[in-house]
Amino acid sequence: DARVTQTPRHKVTEMGQEVTMRCQPILGHNTVFWYRQTMMQGLELLAYFRNRAPLDDSGMPKDRFSAEMPDATLATLKIQPSEPRDSAVYFCASGLNPGRRSYNSPLHFGNGTRLTVT
Amino acid sequence: DAKTTQPNSMESNEEEPVHLPCNHSTISGTDYIHWYRQLPSQGPEYVIHGLTSNVNNRMASLAIAEDRKSSTLILHRATLRDAAVYYCTGGSGTYKYIFGTGTRLKVLA
């Protein structure tokens, strides 16, 4: 089965350090989503890409977070500088959207990057 | 953005059917309703989706109300492996898929 791959699985860092999380979407998928999950907030949508273009990043703190897709096989989420409140599990998901308004195909999630900022 | 409402938790006995409800009264007319579940320490996993008609697959059935303001995920025979958090989500006329707090299903042996 094709899978979304996220690296690293776990990351512990000190406040102020830069953190980069990577995602390899399923080959052929043209949409990528980044979500953050915490006990308090649940699953929050951070950013959405279609055909490598960022369509929505309104859920992302702009001053410290950035998301990019350097190519179709790699999506990155960067935090600089990191803060303890960024501690969470970050999920990447990919899917295939032919361009219609409504999403008629499943999202496939990776197993996440668990980030701890001390 | 469309908002979904689900009960926080439900319990079921093993081998019995489970009906997990979801209210999505603000969903737009062309948005599909998706269900996902999340097992401990894993990412959410797709379960089923539909637009207007009831849908069946090997994992579950999805019953969608005629007015599309609610839906029910049906697990026909719950097993211990079905214990998870179940999320329903619907688009809001954009590409956003917003997840609510989900329903934590406990399956009793």
Q: Using one digit for the tens of pLDDT, what is the confidence trace for B48-58?
A: 999 888 999 99
Tokens of B106: 């406990």
Q: Which residue among B46, B49, B101 sits closest to A42, beta carbon to beta carbon?
A: B101
CA distance B105 to B18: 9
The answer to whether residues B78 and B12 touch, using CB atoms and an 8 Å cutoff, is yes
Mean pLDDT of A96-113: 80
Residues in chain A closer than 8 A to B95 (CB atoms): 31, 48, 50, 55-56, 97, 101, 103
- Give the pLDDT score at B52: 87
Residue with tokens 């025979």: B77
Strand-pairing partners, residue B45, are B37
> What pLDDT does residue B100 have?
81
Secondary structure percentages of chain B, helix, strand, coil, to 5: 5, 45, 50
CB B47 within 8 A of CB B56: no
Using a CB-CB cut-off of 8 Å, the residues of chain B touching A97 are 95
Q: How confident is the model at residue A14 (pLDDT cuts 50, 70, 90)?
A: very high
- φ, ψ (nearest 5 deg) of residue A84: -55, -35
Q: What's the mean pLDDT when you consider all of chain B?
A: 89
Mean pLDDT of B46-70: 91
Please state, as a whole number, how many other Cβ atoms lie within 10 Å of the Cβ of residue A20: 14
Q: Residue B30 and residue A101: Cβ atoms within 8 Å?
A: yes
Is residue A99 predicted with pLDDT exceeding 80? no
Q: CB count, 10 Å around CB of A107?
A: 26
- pLDDT-derived band at A81 (thresholds 50, 70, 90) equals very high
- Beta strand pairing call for B9-13 and B103-108: parallel
Residue B41 to residue A108, Cβ atoms within 8 A: no
Least Cα separation, residue B27 to chain A (angstroms): 11
Query: Predicted confidence band at A8 (pLDDT cuts at 50, 70, 90)?
Result: very high
Q: Residue B9: helix, strand or coil by DSSP?
A: strand
Question: Which chain B residues are closer than 8 Å to A4 by Cβ?
Answer: 43
- For A17-71, what is each residue's pLDDT tens digit? 999 999 999 999 999 999 999 988 889 999 999 999 998 888 898 899 999 999 9
